[in-house]
Amino acid sequence: MSMTVIKESSVGYTAEIERVKATGEPLVIEGDGKPLLIVLPYAEYDALVRQKQQEQRKTYMEAFERERAAFETLKPQLLKTQLGQYVAIHGGQVVDSDASDIELAKRVLPHYPKQAVYIQLVQNELPVYEITAREELTRA
């Protein structure tokens, strides 16, 4: 990737920004001889953001799967001690429990921002909910 570097003293950035739009090449804006900002075509910026989000999601989901597996490992014991309670699993351990998953989430999630936590009801089967609406809407 080639870059165009302009100095703070450059008279206006319009021509350089037009070049970014035309060529797709990024533009580096310097101050005191050091790079301060970069101007990218929006599509390129958007692709970078999406790539970062995908990497974050992949990392999170791997951790989430570990917490889910930990719940399954702990489940036989939890069925004896916390049947009917929701538990929050983090770091492979039960970090809190409550009769309500909502109250548990309110209490636990702020302690682990952007970290994997698995909240589940301790019983033999998953809790079941119903959705009676069709998935797709028919519009006028």
Q: Give the whole-angstrom CA distance, residue 81 versus residue 128.
A: 22
- 26-34 contact pairs (CB < 8 A, 24+): 26/1, 27/3, 28/3, 28/4, 30/5, 30/6, 32/8
Residue from 20, 74, 94, 117 binding another protein (CB under 8 A): 117
Token pair for 128: 């079941």
**Nearest distance, CB of residue 26 and another protein, angstroms:** 24
Interacting stretch for another protein, rule CB under 8 A, among 9-17, 37-45, 74-82, 108-116?
Answer: 108-116
Return the DSSP state at 109.
G
84 part of the interface to another protein, by CB under 8 A:
no
Q: Which residues, numbered 3-62, are part of the site for another protein (CB under 8 A)?
A: 53, 57, 60-61
Which residues would be at the binding site for another protein (CB under 8 A)?
53, 57, 60-61, 64, 68, 101-102, 105-106, 109-110, 113-114, 116-120, 125-140
